[in-house]
Chain A
Amino acid sequence: MKQNIIDIAYLVSGIMFIYGLKRLQSPATARKGNQLAALGMFVAVVATLFLQEILTPIHMLMGAVIGAGIGAYLAKKVEMTGMPELVAAFNGFGGIASALVAGAEIARFMAPNAHITGGEHLEAVSAITISLSILIGMITFTGSFVAFGKLSERISGNPMSFPGMRLLTILFVLGSVGSMIWMAMESSVFPEVSDPVVYGAIFIAVAGALLGILLVIPIGGADMPVVVALLNSYSGIAAAATGFVLNNTALIISGALVGASGLILTNIMCVAMNRSLFNVLVGGFGGDSGGATGGGVSTEGMTVNSTTADDVAILLSYANKVIFIPGYGMAVAQAQHAVRELAEELIKKDVQVKFAIHPVAGRMPGHMNVLLAEANVPYDQLFEMDEINGEFETTDVAVVIGANDVVNPAARHDKSSPIYGMPILNADQAGTSIVLKRSMRPGYAGIDNELFYNSNNQMLFGDAKESIQAVINEVKQL
């Protein structure tokens, strides 16, 4: 009877997760959706806590209180620019939690009271789901923390590799599969003979931890958004695998939802860069130090037009239509509030203002939108690439703020460019393009940008926030 009530509670929470996610289809209902999902989680936890025969509820509650405190602190403290790191870290926690639960399940079999807490004997299939749960969980854990390190610049964003790295990776994968088979074969005598299963699980945990590191270090900083999305998917799959281990529908449903979500985002990011997931994973594309020049048309000897805040102010004030193209540089300079103010000033002067957001602008999917939302830019001024790309031809001024590769026309025609084939925002088709940039240093992918050398392009050098502020002051005086 009790088990039935628990199962129904899990069904209810699963439904709440699905409808919660569905409400994320519109910014107007999204907040309610997230709250509905949170309520779904509450239902699942309460049902488990009160209905499952839990011997140590105080213990469990203490753990939950500690975790809630840490989680709340992190959620309150994080800057919107640091959101990619935080999501990467949370992914990692999700992964390790799944691995730990699978590990605890092994310990449960070995406990003297195994006969009352569940099955007494480990089936071969369960041995495999346990090991998968540990493996995926650990890969997610260490992989996410390497991504966290790269995103927060605690470790270098450059792709790292060493001789024999790929061979080592393959060996760990094979070793893990071998352990899995061994555990499945020895599962019939477990827990009476516990060594094979216990040591197999420990080996898989260590191999998974090392694999997570080996899989993420060779990936360049520019590709971190894809990796974070992929690890998001892994954390879901790890939770679902744990659900298989425990025969728990709540975990299976939620894990599947998250796994699907992460995969969809991964795919969107790959399409937006015109690269396959395989290419991203083995790529080693882009670091954070610039340096590498992407071949192709030499820009040496070509000159750029430099402009001043006064001229930009005049150009913008008398334009009919202006499109802003923000990139990660805007976030670094904390210029989003100044940009919003400039947009408001222009709207007062009857200029039509839009924002064009490239899918891979920023360091995670949708990063720019969050930063602009924080700066109070209404979301109906933000447009996706496909919606707005046809409008540049009828736009007087395109203002590029801290974006680089996503407006590089080389992507269209220069077959030797590393970003060839990537869909870009057509800033070069606007009447005039203005690029705000600190210096002529190449972007995140380390490639020179043809746009800068166009005759109708003007560079406004300097700190983005100060530059915009100067433009605002001039606009106000006009």
Chain B
Amino acid sequence: MLTNLIIFILASIIGSEVISKVPATLHTPLMSGSNAISGITIVGAMVVAGMVGDDWAKWIGFAAVIVATINVIGGFMVTDRMLQMFKKKD
């Protein structure tokens, strides 16, 4: 528990340092991209639902995998779509 808390706090600090330097022009892609990263719950869904014999856990986990994947795939794809539009003057 304490180890987890330490990881959480350190990751938050690194996140703040890295993200506060993202320019305003990229804030929308930052939001959609970080959104995709929060879809990491997909891993949790697989761990819980994939291992368990219980039907309830299986179906709840199945639903979780679907929504988390929407988040991951949709988030990364739409971010990529936006970022490829950002061009310098030729």
Binding site for B on A (CB under 8 A): 14, 17-18, 20-22, 24-28, 30-31, 33-35, 37-38, 41, 44-45, 48-49, 52-57, 59-60, 62-64, 66-68, 70-72, 74-76, 78, 80, 83, 86-87, 90-91, 93-94, 96-98, 100-101, 103-105, 107-108, 110-113, 117-118, 125, 228-229, 232, 235-236, 238-240, 242-265, 268, 357, 359, 364-367, 369-370, 373-374, 376, 378-382, 384
A45 partner residues in chain B, CB cutoff 8 A: 42-43, 46
A453 CA to B64 CA in the complex, in Å?
Answer: 55
Task: List chain A residues, Cβ under 8 A from B51.
Answer: 52-55, 108, 117-118
Contacts of A38 in B (CB 8 A): 36, 76, 80
Kindly state the separation between the CA atoms of A48 and B58 in the bound complex, as whole angstroms. Answer: 16
B1-44 residues with Cβ-Cβ distance < 8 A to A are 1, 4, 7-9, 11-16, 18-44
With a cutoff of 8 Å between Cβ atoms, the chain B residues found around residue A66 in the complex are 66, 69
State whether A250 and B73 are in contact (beta carbons under 8 Å apart), knowing that A49-B46, A378-B87, A382-B25 are contacts in the complex: no
- Chain A residues positioned under 8 Å from B35 (CB to CB): 87, 90-91, 94, 232, 235, 258
| Measured CA separation A247–B5 after assembly (Å) | 11
A74-B70, A117-B52, A370-B29 given as contacts; is B83 within 8 A of A31 (CB)? yes
Chain A residue contacts of B21, Cβ below 8 A: 25
B28 touches A83 (CB 8 A): yes
Judge whether B67 and A97 touch: CB under 8 Å: yes
Q: State A172–B14 Cα separation when bound (angstroms).
A: 34
* Residue numbers in B under 8 Å from A59 (CB-CB): 49-50, 58, 62
Determine whether the beta carbon of B18 is less than 8 Å from that of A21.
Answer: yes
Which B residues are in CB contact (< 8 Å) with A254?
A: 37-38, 40
- Closest-CB distance, A90 to chain B (whole angstroms): 5
Contact of A258 among B28, B37, B58 (CB under 8 A): B37
The residue of chain A having its C-beta at the shortest distance from the C-beta of B74 within the complex is A71
Known contacts A17-B37, A90-B71, A365 near B24 by CB under 8 Å: yes
A74 to B56 alpha-carbon distance, docked (Å): 29
B72, A41: Cβ atoms closer than 8 Å = yes
Contacts of A374 in B (CB 8 A): 82, 85
Contact yes or no, B41 A257, CB < 8 A: no
Residues of chain A with a CB closer than 8 A to B41's CB:
94, 97-98, 101, 238-239, 242, 251
Q: Which chain A residues lie closer than 8 Å to B44 at the CB level?
A: 98, 101, 239, 242-243, 245-246, 248, 251
Q: Tell me which of A28, A243, A370 has the highest count of chain B C-beta atoms within 10 A of its own C-beta.
A: A370
Residues of B within 8 A of A52 (CB): 46-47, 50-51
B14: nearest chain-A partner, CB-CB: A18
Question: Quick one: which of A17, A30, A258, A261 contacts B86, CB cutoff 8 A?
Answer: A30
Q: Which of B31, B65, B71, B81 has the most CB of A within 10 A?
A: B31
Question: B residues near A, CB below 8 A?
Answer: 1, 4, 7-9, 11-16, 18-54, 56-58, 60-90
- Tell me if B's interface is mostly helix, strand, loop or mixed: helix
Chain B contacts for A75, CB-based, 8 A = 73-75, 77-78, 81
Residue of B31, B67, B80, B83 near A265 (CB, 8 A) is B31
B residues less than 8 Å from A107 (CB atoms):
52, 54, 56-57, 60
- Residues A111 and B43 in contact, CB atoms below 8 Å apart: no
Contact across chains for B83 and A64 when beta carbons are under 8 A apart: no
Contact B68 A261 (CB under 8 A): no
11 additional contacts (CB under 8 A) given A18-B14, A100-B61, A257-B15:
A21-B22, A34-B79, A55-B50, A67-B69, A83-B78, A94-B67, A228-B31, A248-B43, A258-B38, A264-B16, A369-B25
Q: Which of B26, B37, B78 contacts A86 (CB 8 A)?
A: B78
Q: Bound state CA distance, A255 and B18, in angstroms?
A: 15
Q: Give the CA-CA distance A382 to B81 in the complex, in Å.
A: 19
Least CB distance from B68 to A in Å reads: 4
A-B contact pairs, 24 of them (CB 8 A): A24-B19, A24-B22, A28-B88, A31-B83, A35-B80, A48-B43, A57-B50, A59-B50, A59-B58, A60-B61, A68-B72, A71-B71, A71-B77, A90-B35, A90-B70, A101-B48, A105-B48, A112-B54, A242-B44, A257-B12, A258-B37, A268-B24, A369-B26, A369-B27
B15 engages A379 (CB within 8 Å): no
Distance A76 CA – B63 CA, assembled complex (angstroms): 23
Beta-carbon contact of B24 and A104 below 8 Å: no
Chain B neighbourhood of A100, CB < 8 A = 45, 60-61, 63-64, 67
CB contact under 8 A between A236 and B18, given known A56-B58, A78-B78, A101-B45: no
Give complex CA distance A62, B79 in Å: 24
- A370:B52 contact, CB within 8 angstroms: no
CA distance A27 to B14 in the complex (A): 20
Knowing A34-B29, A59-B62, A108-B57, say if A257 contacts B88 (CB, 8 Å).
Answer: no
Chain B residue at minimum C-beta to C-beta distance from A28: B88
In the complex, the answer to whether A265 meets B43 with C-beta atoms within 8 Å is no
Residue of A nearest to B11 (CB): A256
A111-B24 in contact (CB<8A) = no
The 3 A-B residue pairs with the shortest CB-CB distance in the complex, in nearest-first order: A67-B69, A71-B74, A366-B27
Do the beta carbons of B71 and A24 come within 8 Å of each other? no
Bound-complex Cα distance A20 to B14 (A): 13
